[in-house]
Amino acid sequence: MASGRKRILWADDEIEYLRSHIMFLETRGYSVVPVFCGDDAIELVSDKPQGFDLVLLDEQMPGKSGLTTLEKIKEINSELPVVMVTKSEEEQLMDDALGKKIDGYLTKPVNPSQILLVCKNLLDSRKIVSKNIAQRFIRSYSENRSLLSGHLSPLQWIKLYENVTGWDLALESVDDEGIRQTHSGQKSDCNAHFSSTFIENYAHWIKDETEGPLLSTGVIEQHVAPLLAADKRTYLIVLSGMRLDQYIGIESVLKKFFRVDRHYFYSTLPTDDTFARAALFSGKLPSDIAAENEEQLSLTEDSDSVKTHLIEEQLLSDHLARLGHPVPVDEPWFTRITDRLEPEHLLSRIESCRNSKLITFVVNFFDQVRQVSTASGIMQELTNDESGMRALTRSWFKRSALLHFLREVATQDCRVVVMSDHGSVLCSRGTELYCSKSLTPNLRYKFGNGISSDERTVVYLADPTHFGIPKFGNDTACVIARENYYFIQPDKFEHYNRHYRNTFQQGGISMEEIIVPLGILTPGAD
């Protein structure tokens, strides 16, 4: 547009009485083109469909009515905002205008400030919001840089991760790729510092040698047992692999039905379903679980995975019994959800559990969402970044049987714990893995004989038990990827780069995988 001004087309048969309004808008940086009837407005828009940024439209004019003019303009350019300015306060007229996709509605008499406000709202609000967000981001960026220059406690890391995730969400509405890249760079710096801090302290935390964060092993005792002790029916819902940004989207929906108290804990290593969830349910480190359940937690060349899910119910049952909250052995209080279920199936579990104060659902959340994202090439393209995965998560949850179930639960006198067991990270950097024999397919951690990788990108554990991880054989070491690296076999570099770059993986050391959200829900919206 000329001089960068937004152009407004104003159609009103009494336009001469609106000269002061037009002058006011022009002093505020807008260019106004006045016309006396709907036919003239339609002709101008038809000649230049992209020639105007906004149309102000009287409803009662000679010739075509405002509603008819609105309909014709939308046929020419459906994206052109149109605001009805009319003397009529009839509700039916408003309904008709809304049905024809009006963008705003003002009732005469209007003052210049009202007109200016609607123009700013439709034409400049995104720019104003973006400017405000950019100013706040610059302040936050500087504060985060100062934080990273010092020593952060586990709680400070949680606050920093909340801040970084908040900016992930806020910057989705900003048309400034430079700011997003700056944020991405700082997020990478945060993960590099976090990985180093975590590796330096983790072995001390699991041995209680220094004061550390709440780990997976303490979650049931600290957050679930007190609810059971209060004699409240409690639902434990574990959305396996859910990240904080995904949880925030789910939490925003749940706040319509529950009051939500959010908490955090640190996942144990490796951060995947096999080990982290076993530690969560049992209250024990994976190495201790393996010592007691050698048959289930074995790893051989003939079996390249550890199937702890076979004993998860028993691990949680034993843990609850030690805490003084035994569960009935003859009721289906523990359910693993691996595929699509109907809400009625979930609700039937409640009816079947008359004596159990705890009903647990484990949802293969990461796998379900990832399967949706890879169902088609188009969907996969939408979810090769974090914003797309967040959008997919919100869409999945709003249509899920789980939400239907939770809405029913919200009518009960109960408590609901919604949590993850670990997160996932968007992997964009490959690191070559050298080994004589790798026994695990995971791209973020490996067990193997003669295994090695660039130690700037991984933590190498000749004795995995130092980190509370089982040692599968005398010569079997473990390597765990840091930040957003994933393992690449040197002889299959192109294959791994093509198939796994910019995919979500789990099992390593990053803020997204380690820092886990947990919400305690009480029926009744905020």
Which of left, alpha, beta for 29 (phi over 0: left; psi -120 to 50: alpha)?
left
- pLDDT for 355-369, tens place per residue? 999 999 999 887 777
Confidence of residue 314 (pLDDT cuts 50, 70, 90): very high
Which H or E run includes 281? helix 273-282
R_g over Cα of the chain: 29
pTM comes to 0.80
pLDDT level of residue 376 (50, 70, 90 thresholds): very low
pLDDT above 70 as % of the chain: 89
Between 134 and 308, residue with greater pLDDT:
134
- Across the range 123-146, mean pLDDT stands at 84
**Cα dihedral 391/165/511/214 (nearest 10):** -110
DSSP conformation class of 120: I
- The Cα–Cα gap between 514 and 303 comes to 27
Per-residue model confidence (pLDDT) at position 102: 79
Mind listing the pLDDT tens digit for each residue in 173-231? 787 788 889 999 999 999 999 999 999 999 999 998 778 999 999 999 999 999 999 98
Q: Which sequence spans correspond to the domains of the chain?
A: 2-110, 126-206, 216-424+513-523, 426-505
Nearest to 448, CA basis, from 489, 484, 418: 489
Contacts of 197 by beta carbon, 8 Å cutoff, 6+ apart: 152, 157
Does residue 347 surpass a pLDDT of 80? yes
SS3 content of the chain, % helix, strand, coil (to 5): 50, 20, 30
CATH architecture of the domain formed by 2-110: 3-Layer(aba) Sandwich (3.40)
Q: Which of 169-173, 383-387, 488-492 has the lowest mean pLDDT?
A: 383-387
Determine the pLDDT at residue 122.
Answer: 83
Average pLDDT over residues 129-150: 89
Q: How far apart are CA 405 and CA 399, in angstroms?
A: 11
In angstroms, rounded to a whole number, what is the distance separating the alpha carbons of residues 331 and 353?
A: 6
Q: Report the alpha-carbon distance of residue 54 to residue 173 in Å, rounded.
A: 21
CA distance 327 to 322: 11
Domain 216-424+513-523 architecture = 3-Layer(aba) Sandwich (3.40)
Task: Note the pLDDT tens digit of each residue in 416-457.
Answer: 999 999 999 999 999 999 875 655 678 999 988 888 999 999
H-run or E-run covering 35? strand 30-35
**Residue 499 to residues 375, 484, 486, 492: CA-CA distances in angstroms?**
15, 16, 12, 11
Q: Is the pLDDT of residue 2 over 50?
A: no
Nearest to 336 by CA among 377, 367, 373: 367
Instruction: Report the C-alpha gap between 247 and 296 in whole angstroms.
Output: 31
Closest CA to 337 of 321, 349, 329, 320: 349
Q: What is the pLDDT of residue 303?
A: 44
Q: Two tokens at 8?
A: 């407004």
Beta pairing class for 6-11 and 30-35: parallel
Taking residues 8-31, report their average pLDDT.
Answer: 92
CA within 13 Å, CB half, 61: 28
